Amino acid sequence: MPEMMDELEERISQLRGRIRQALAAGERTEVPRLRAELRAAELSWDAALLESDDLAPVPPETLPAGMSLFPVREQVHQVLTVLGVAASPRLIVATHEALFAGGLAATKLASLRRDEERSFRAAPYSRPYYVCAALAADQLVAVRGLLAISTWSLDRRIMGPLSPRVDFLTAAIRLVHHLQTTGKLGSQSIRLLWPFTNNIPGAGGPTEGFEPSRLIAAAQAELNIHEESDRQQREAAAERARRLSDAEQLFGGEQLKAVKSATKS
């Protein structure tokens, strides 16, 4: 199993390098295929991890209540994968509490990004992914309080003027779809969705009850208004960001002061 994971990690590293080379050479038609191969390799790595002896199930009597078998970075990765957008610790913790077993405290997230940056700078791309920063579109510095995943495309981690709202709407849609697919649309999950329902026009409210399809439709209707402009702004900023070093693309420029998040997730 360790040998298989080593091979997969080497494959993942090679694919990331080929994606960067393709982008630098302007060979954009190759990027979707390479990214699909990268996602497949990462999924294989995750499967190998879960099958490893190191993560064998712990007898219930030896596992303290509220404790997760997974490290904090993997719990955060689980949540961000569901949300699909950069998110604040508050939203990450609330989503984890509603969807996954084991407790995740916001205090544990305080130093996570810094730890991930130190790890990356010490041994770049030695991990399948890193919990990294969202970057402000204007200054290309880390947006304080927002976490993202390094395997996302650069433009997806950029935060322009419209991005907080676009990401809020996107997260709402993705959460409802996830809850419907997993059959976890219970009272706790509905509490998680109330901030979205209450802040998206036409999605419902405390006096109207909760209807998943209504929330999705309302979020998508507003998303259609902002999405294209936001995409253009993100892609323009991403083009400038590609002149940064790999570490700066993930964690922002070292010499600049991080800006405060414009979102309240």
In a domain, 205, yes or no: yes
> Coil, strand or helix: which one is 242?
coil
Give the span between the Cα atoms of 82 and 133, in whole angstroms.
Answer: 17
Q: How many CA atoms lie within 13 A of 186 on its CB side?
A: 7
Q: Which residues contact 121 (CB under 8 A, 6 or more apart)?
A: 247
pTM assigned to the model: 0.71
109-118, 155-164, 177-186: which has the minimum mean pLDDT? Answer: 177-186
In a domain, 207, yes or no: yes
Answer with the residue of higher pLDDT: 101 or 209.
101
Q: What is the pLDDT of residue 52?
A: 55
Q: Which of these three, 56, 87, 103, is where a domain ends?
A: 56
Q: What is the pLDDT of residue 50?
A: 58
In a domain, 48, yes or no: yes
CB 238, CB 231: distance < 8 Å? no
Give the span between the Cα atoms of 110 and 169, in whole angstroms.
Answer: 25
In a domain, 203, yes or no: yes
Q: What is the 3-state secondary structure (H, E, C) of 112-129?
A: HHHHHHHHHHHCCCCCCC
Q: Which of these three, 9, 36, 56, is where a domain ends?
A: 56
In a domain, 212, yes or no: yes
Token pair of 255, please?
Answer: 């010499």
CB 167, CB 86: distance < 8 Å? yes
Total number of domains in the chain: 2
Q: What percent of the chain has a predicted confidence (pLDDT) above 70?
A: 83
CB 222, CB 200: distance < 8 Å? yes
Q: Which of these three, 56, 75, 101, is where a domain ends?
A: 56
Top-confidence range, 195-204, 232-241, 250-259 = 232-241
In a domain, 255, yes or no: no
Handedness of CA 101, 107, 110, 111 (dihedral sign): negative
How large is the average pLDDT for residues 127-145? Answer: 94
User: Is it the case that residue 23 has pLDDT exceeding 90?
Assistant: no
In a domain, 87, yes or no: no
* Phi, psi (deg, nearest 5) at residue 212: -55, -45
What domain range is 35 assigned to?
1-56
Split at pLDDT 50, 70, 90, the class of 205 is low
